[in-house]
Amino acid sequence: MSPESRSQAIAAGIILVGVGLVIYFLPTLVLWIGNYSPVLAFVAGAALLLGFFAIFWLRARYQRGRGK
């Protein structure tokens, strides 16, 4: 395994573990925020879920910028 592919695998693993933790605790977090404001709970839940896709979109843009 080349150092570059190992680095990419580690980055993907860290991202997936982080996203997994966020998704695991998302219902509890949204319900807790929903006690104060249902709209704010919706916005927080949507932002956390869209953040997952934003991370990979930004990483793809970075990779294209580097010519890979």
Alpha helices by DSSP H, listed for the chain, are: 3-34, 38-65
What pLDDT, on the 0 to 100 scale, is given for residue 49?
86
Domain limits of the chain? 3-65
Across the 68 residues of the chain, what is the mean pLDDT of every consecutive 10-residue run?
80 87 91 94 91 86 78
The rounded distance, in Å, linking the Cα atoms of 50 and 23 is 11
CB atoms within 10 A of CB 30: 18
**DSSP 8-state symbol, 25:** H
pLDDT of residue 68: 59
3-state secondary structure of 37: coil
